[in-house]
Amino acid sequence: MLDKDILVVDLGADNWNRLLGLGEGLLKALEPDDGPGPLLVIYRGLKLLRAIDLGCARPVSVEFYGTSRLDMLSRESGYPRILALEENALTRVVGHAQRELEYKDDYLKQLGGFARGVAREWGRTIFTYPPRGRLRLPPHRALEWAFRLLVPDDTVFLFAITEKRKAWTSAVMGYSGGDLWLLTSLDTVALEEGDLSNGALEAAARLLQSKYGGTVRVVAIQREALLRVSRSRFPSGALLWALNTGDLRLSRIPLRWKVLAFAAALAATRRG
């Protein structure tokens, strides 16, 4: 699918750190407030090698009774969600992927190879509580078809996070003729803390179009609004509110993307 692989034009270190930090913040926002975060257990046979609270990224002390008694571990430790990895699980996953991949394979096939490796080790060296059934992965051709259906050719996608209408972090992805390229830098849309109001964001989109061609599609959202959507019991309502207040700005976004986003928000509605 990505015939000439991924071309990374620029990767601003500060911006990359902010993007990763944003992901961590969203994951924390998705965690329920009434209990501890997930527990990661690394084991060898019946011996516990390490236990880590993923919610606060610190080691903890628990009693391990084997993968068949993760329910007992959950009751005694108070962790409602547990991921148990045999010490060689990740090595085995990588081994499965390497045996079926070639160096010419595109990134989607490579990611699929690792996902299939996880599926093969699920229930062998990888366990969860509450237990999950067998992982079923869609075929590669189906994923490729879905990607081409969702992402129009000659698309330049600009995703900007703002803070008080000023640039906080940004990422740009371009897709054309099977090539995918990525550019992330605080200077992508404006200098750090640059003002993106009064048409500045539209000017950045025009600049990107003059450099790379294609159709520039823009999503810009205030950082607090993004976190508010992730915490909300009704994400679809929070999205509409952000759109009406101007905290979420869209330009040239295909209708299929909007429908998919609101469908995902409706599916994520929390019941409580």
- Number of structural domains (the chain) is 2
174 and 73 inside one domain: no
Q: Give domain status of residue 135, yes or no.
A: no
Q: Give domain status of residue 248, yes or no.
A: yes
Q: Is the pLDDT score of 2 beyond 50? A: no
Domain of residue 109: give its range.
Answer: 36-79+82-129
The 10 Å Cβ neighbour count of residue 134 is 7
pLDDT on residue 136: 81
The answer to whether the beta carbons of residues 153 and 177 sit under 8 Å apart is yes
42 and 75 inside one domain: yes
186 and 255 inside one domain: yes
Taking residues 173-177, what's their average pLDDT? 82
pLDDT on residue 269: 73
Helix orientation angle between 235-245 and 255-267, rounded to the nearest 10 degrees: 130
Indicate if the alpha-carbon torsion angle 243, 246, 252, 257 is positive or negative.
negative
The tens digit of pLDDT for each residue in 57-100 reads: 889 999 999 999 999 999 999 999 999 999 999 999 989 888 88
Percent of the chain with pLDDT over 70: 80
Q: What is the CATH number of the domain that holds 176?
A: 3.30.1050
200 and 222 inside one domain: yes
121 and 159 inside one domain: no
pLDDT on residue 17: 73
Q: Give domain status of residue 139, yes or no.
A: no
Least confident of 27-41, 82-96, 158-172, 217-231: 27-41
Q: Is the pLDDT score of 8 beyond 60? A: no
Q: Give domain status of residue 249, yes or no.
A: yes
Could you tell me the two tokens for 38?
């997930």
pLDDT tier, 102 (very low <50, low <70, confident <90, very high otherwise): confident
Could you tell me the two tokens for 221?
């959202």
pLDDT on residue 272: 45
94 and 199 inside one domain: no
pLDDT on residue 176: 81
Could you tell me the two tokens for 182?
């990525």
227 and 263 inside one domain: yes
Taking residues 247-262, what's their average pLDDT? 88
Q: Give domain status of residue 134, yes or no.
A: no
Q: Give domain status of residue 143, yes or no.
A: no
Q: Is the pLDDT score of 15 beyond 80? A: no
Q: Give domain status of residue 31, yes or no.
A: no
pLDDT on residue 100: 80
187 and 256 inside one domain: yes
15 and 86 inside one domain: no
- In the 3-class helix/strand/coil scheme, how is the chain assigned residue by residue? CCCCCEEEEEECHHHHHHHHHHHHHHHHHHCCCCCCCCEEEEEECCEEEEEEECCCCEECCCCCCCHHHHHHHHHHHCCCCEEEEECCHHHHHHHHHHHHCCCCCCHHHHHHHHHHHHHHHECCCEEEECCCCCCCCCCHHHHHHHHHHHCCCCEEEEEEEEECCEEEEEEEEEEECCEEEEEECCCCCCCCCCECCCCHHHHHHHHHHHHHCCEEEEEEEEHHHHHHHHHCCCHHHHHHHHHHHCCEEEECCCHHHHHHHHHHHHHCCCCC
Q: Is the pLDDT score of 164 beyond 60? A: yes
pLDDT on residue 93: 92
Q: Give domain status of residue 97, yes or no.
A: yes
